[in-house]
């Protein structure tokens, strides 16, 4: 499927978003071991996977860009099925996941994406994305700052966006088998196509910038925060919930695997170390405190 001029413009903008995030994370943690892989997609296009590992601040982070073309759109790409038949698609996006080293630094996720299909209707293109925060030792000021920034960027485009997208985030990032939210929320949106494309392109660009600015501001508070072995252990146990969500419910992970994407890039979102188990009574007080926010 040939790329439209609008697609090419959005694709370029997403590359700029990836480069900006890489630059800022590199400045935040100069000690991280960095790697970059360019990959090709079987039926057209490809991507750039950038990974941070083993840093003093960032234990693992992925900043992935992709732009692919295909003949069959995976069901995981859609919140609701399109009415018409789709035989070809273009999809581009940026995905970010950060697993900090310090347990007091929250984990974060951000994604922006754009799809075009050959369906002959007003649903032939749409934007999606959002960002959310997963703290293990929640701080009320951080949570307020996170949600205030999300509300501000949403209100810039539509006063109804924040309430709707915040609820969608809480509903989506939910471990049903645990009956708990994955984190403290943020915003999540999909199939945006009622306004002009330029409006949504600017919106997702602002979403990415707001995520980056707010997240770095929050984690910078904990650069010198001391922690004990028990804090790290609790972080590793709670990371297990992150893995469970990604493997059981995450549409981005499913889309990547169902569309035949590069497994190494898709699974870069997983934390490098994780634990399961609830037999340590020393962790129960941390669990009780955290669940007040979930």
> What mean pLDDT do residues 209-235 have?
97
d(CA 13, CA 199): 13
At 233, is the pLDDT very low, low, confident or very high (cuts 50, 70, 90)? very high
Expressed in angstroms, the distance from the first to the final Cα of the chain is: 43
Q: Which residues are catalytic?
A: 109
pLDDT digits (tens, 9 = 90+) for 198-220: 999 999 999 999 999 999 999 99
pLDDT of residue 122: 57
What average pLDDT does the structure give for the chain? Answer: 90
More confident residue, 255 or 185: 185
- Partners of residue 134 on adjacent β-strands: 107
- In this predicted structure, the answer to whether residue 292 has a pLDDT above a threshold of 90 is yes
How confident is the model over 8-61, as pLDDT tens digits?
999 999 999 999 999 999 999 999 999 999 999 877 899 999 999 999 999 999
Q: ∠ CA(171), CA(167), CA(93), 5° rounding?
A: 75
In this prediction the pTM is 0.92
DSSP per-residue letters across the chain: -PPPHHHHHHHHHHHHHHHHHHHHHHHH-TTSEEEEEEEE-TTSEEEEEEEEES-SSEEEEEEEEEEEEESS--GGG-SS--SS----EEEEEEEEEEEESSTTSPEEEEEEEEEEE--SSTTSEEEEEEEEEE-SS--HHHHHHHHHHHHHHHHTT-TTHHHHHHHHHHHHSEETTTTEESSSEEEEEEEE-SS-HHHHHHHHHHHHHHHHHHHHHHHHTTTT----HHHHHHHHHHHHHHHHHHHHT-HHHHHHHHTT--HHHHGGGS-SS-------GGGHHHHHHHHT--
- Looking at domain 5-291, its CATH architecture is 3-Layer(aba) Sandwich (3.40)
């Amino acid at each position: 499927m040939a790329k439209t001029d609008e697609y090419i413009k959005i694709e370029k903008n997403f590359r700029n978003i990836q480069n900006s995030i890489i630059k800022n994370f590199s400045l935040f943690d100069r000690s991280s071991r960095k790697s970059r892989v360019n990959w090709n997609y079987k039926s057209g296009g490809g991507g750039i996977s950038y990974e941070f590992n083993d840093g003093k601040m960032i234990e693992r982070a992925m900043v992935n860009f992709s732009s692919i073309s295909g003949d069959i759109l995976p069901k995981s790409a859609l919140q609701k099925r399109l009415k018409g038949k789709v035989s070809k698609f273009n999809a581009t996006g940026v995905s970010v996941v950060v697993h900090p080293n310090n347990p007091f630094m929250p984990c974060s996720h951000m994604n922006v994406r754009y799809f075009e299909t050959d369906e002959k209707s007003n649903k032939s293109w749409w934007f999606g994305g959002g960002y959310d925060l997963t703290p293990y030792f929640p701080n009320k000021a951080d949570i307020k700052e996170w949600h205030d920034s999300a509300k501000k960027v949403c209100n810039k485009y539509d006063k109804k966006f924040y309430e709707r997208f915040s609820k969608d985030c809480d509903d989506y990032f939910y471990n049903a088998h645990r009956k708990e939210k994955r984190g403290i929320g943020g915003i999540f949106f999909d199939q945006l196509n009622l306004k002009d494309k330029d409006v949504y392109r600017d919106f997702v660009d602002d979403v990415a910038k707001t995520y980056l600015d707010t997240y770095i501001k929050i984690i910078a508070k904990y650069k010198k925060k001391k922690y004990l072995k028990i804090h790290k252990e609790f972080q590793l146990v709670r990371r297990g919930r992150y893995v469970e969500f990604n493997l059981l419910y995450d549409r981005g992970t499913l889309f990547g695997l169902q569309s035949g994407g590069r497994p190494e890039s898709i699974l870069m979102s997983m934390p490098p170390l994780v634990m399961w188990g609830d037999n340590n009574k020393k962790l129960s007080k941390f669990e009780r405190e955290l669940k007040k926010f979930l």
